[in-house]
Amino acid sequence: MIAFILNNKTIKTHNNAGMTLLDFVRYEQRLTGTKIGCREGDCGACTVLVGTLNEKNTISYKSITSCISPLGNAHGKHIVTIEGTNLPKELTVTQSAIKENHASQCGFCTPGFVVSLTGFALSESKNNSENALDAISGNICRCTGYKSIEKAVDDICEKLESADSKKSLQTLIDNGFIPSYFSEIPERLNQLQIKSNPQSGMTYVSGGTDLYVQKADNLINNTVHLISDDDSLKGIHIDDNICTIGAGTTVTDLWNHKALNTVFPNLKKHLKLVSSEQIRNMASLGGNFVNASPIGDMTIFFLALNSNITIINPEGNERQIPLNQFYKGYKTFDLKDDELIKDIQFELPSRHTKFNFEKVSKRTHLDIASVNSAISITVKNNSIEDAYVSIGGVSAIPKYLFKTSTFLNGKPLNKTTILEANEILQSEISPISDVRGSSDYKRLLARQLFFAHFTALFSHQFSLNDFVQHA
Ligand SMILES: Cc1cc2nc3c(=O)[nH]c(=O)nc-3n(C[C@H](O)[C@H](O)[C@H](O)COP(=O)(O)OP(=O)(O)OC[C@H]3O[C@@H](n4cnc5c(N)ncnc54)[C@H](O)[C@@H]3O)c2cc1C
Ligand code: FES
Ligand code: FES
């Protein structure tokens, strides 16, 4: 049985865990404020909030797209649809800001925007427009024009700031951001006495953000094996300079991790390029690796960190392999059907190591890469001690550049080395022409992103002009 709280109502259902949360909300509960647009996580019309009880008996809320989320992932959670944000007699601050700023025309997208912005009010993010705009990075409006939505966002931030910058649940209730029943939810979730559901079915589903786009019809009526709440796949630990990250860790978990943000000062800038806030809240590392897309952003990221992955079978036997040995061909990899990726480990960068990630896509948000690339490079006395370079979108697999990386080791860090390394890089890749660009264009991007690593990391030494004559 799946048990959760939907808005102010306790739900206990035997519906199939693989059906989408969107269909349950609209067709079983008749809550039709949550809209259906693309059914692919791309438009945000179906956004709902998921509240998870923390150890300290508080709740953290995150936005997700319900069209690609399995109902079973709602087990033990508080799910909030647009109806659940309503106050009894007046508009909430968020609803009113949308109205006052004329940020809605046909209104189809509006519930999604309101829910995402209510999620922002409930989040720990600082009250500024940049963070609030991130919160709606997965919401698309086809008719209003974004200026009026931006004005509404500014109003919401101002009102949040004047209410209380710490945004406690009670302050949000007192100031009309959310209805008062929210304050009872932690206690009510505790009373649900949630036991984890026994899992069956061969298809492992974590966030579902790849699976529900690729084969939703297979999942809706079949048994699924949900792993996003599996504690053994969670957690980020740093021990003796080795960082171990559970495969169920989401992109948002990385984003929020203080120590990782210190080690990788540009982490948030890099992760902003990955999908949208709603998708990042669901998307796991394990899902990104096993989806095996040649342009998987997290795969490219961790390949350049020279990571190992731990694979575990149902008997609990573990084996460890380098991530750069995992992929065998297009969408084929070294994993049996019943095996899981348990975690990923890498050595934390030393004082002399720099890391960079670059991505080119048609849109900044909510778009997969045409080409993406990452580098981890250690330089001492202007000599390259070691380098690990990865690149996506130019081969059948997310590509670790063995030859280019080896070539860089021990070389002086100068323009000649970089130009020669690019020649080797070009010999290692084999892009094909497709909707994301022609083969020639992708070669050009691969070269430019490789140069961009050096201009970003060693800006005092190189500028893009250094490489222009070779364009
Ligand atoms: C709108 C949208 C935008 C997106 N944008 C991006 C983007 O910018 N960059 C990007 O890289 N990706 C993007 N994606 C793809 C997707 O979000 C990521 O690949 C994500 O990391 C997948 O994780 P998941 O938990 O949702 O995987 P799921 O869909 O749950 O699973 C994917 C596959 O991995 C398997 N699996 C999951 N976890 C494990 C595990 N621990 N061990 C073994 N097998 C496992 C599943 O069985 C399945 O085969 C986007 C997707 C959507 C819908
Ligand atoms: S319907 Fe478009 S994101 Fe869900
Ligand atoms: S108001 Fe019509 S789609 Fe946004």
pLDDT at 68: 98
| Residue 326 belongs to domain with CATH number | 3.30.465.10
Percent of the chain with pLDDT over 70: 97
pLDDT, tens digit, 9 for 90 and up, residues 424-465: 999 999 999 988 889 999 999 999 999 999 999 999 999 888
54 half-sphere exposure, CB direction, 13 A CA radius = 6
Instruction: Name the residue at shortest CA distance from atom 27 of ligand 1.
Output: 287
Say whether both 217 and 247 belong to one domain.
no
Of 79, 149, 147, residue with least CA distance to 110: 149
| Residue 139 belongs to domain with CATH number | 1.10.150.120
| Residue 57 belongs to domain with CATH number | 3.10.20.30
Is the four-CA dihedral 380, 383, 387, 391 of positive or negative sign? Answer: positive
- Yes or no: say if 206 and 212 are a contact pair by the CB < 8 Å rule: no
Say whether both 35 and 105 belong to one domain.
no
How far apart are the CA of 202 and the centre of ligand 2, in A? Answer: 26
Say whether both 154 and 216 belong to one domain.
no
Instruction: Name the residue at shortest CA distance from atom 28 of ligand 1.
Output: 208
Ligand 3 atom index nearest CA of 113: 4
Report the pLDDT averaged over residues 223-247: 95
Boundary of a domain, candidates 226, 255, 283: 226
Say whether both 271 and 368 belong to one domain.
yes
pLDDT, tens digit, 9 for 90 and up, residues 169-216: 999 999 999 999 999 999 999 998 666 666 667 899 999 999 999 999
Measure the CA–CA gap between 98 and 102, rounded to whole angstroms.
6
Ligand 3 contacts (CB < 6 A) are 104-110, 141-144
List the domain range (segments joined by +) for residue 115: 93-178
Say whether both 132 and 249 belong to one domain.
no
Say whether both 102 and 145 belong to one domain.
yes
Ranges 19-33, 139-153, 181-195, 334-348: which has the least confidence? 181-195
Say whether both 360 and 238 belong to one domain.
yes
What pTM value is reported for the model? 0.96
Say whether both 304 and 429 belong to one domain.
yes
How far apart are the CA of 19 and the centre of ligand 2, in A? Answer: 15
Say whether both 168 and 80 belong to one domain.
no
Report the pLDDT averaged over residues 339-349: 97
Boundary of a domain, candidates 226, 257, 285: 226
Say whether both 186 and 136 belong to one domain.
no
Say whether both 39 and 149 belong to one domain.
no
Instruction: Name the residue at shortest CA distance from atom 3 of ligand 2.
Output: 41
pLDDT at 42: 95
| Tally of domains in the chain | 3
Ligand 2 atom index nearest CA of 22: 4
Say whether both 290 and 431 belong to one domain.
yes
User: Residue 79: beta bridge partners?
Assistant: 6, 50
Measure the CA–CA gap between 450 and 371, rounded to whole angstroms.
11
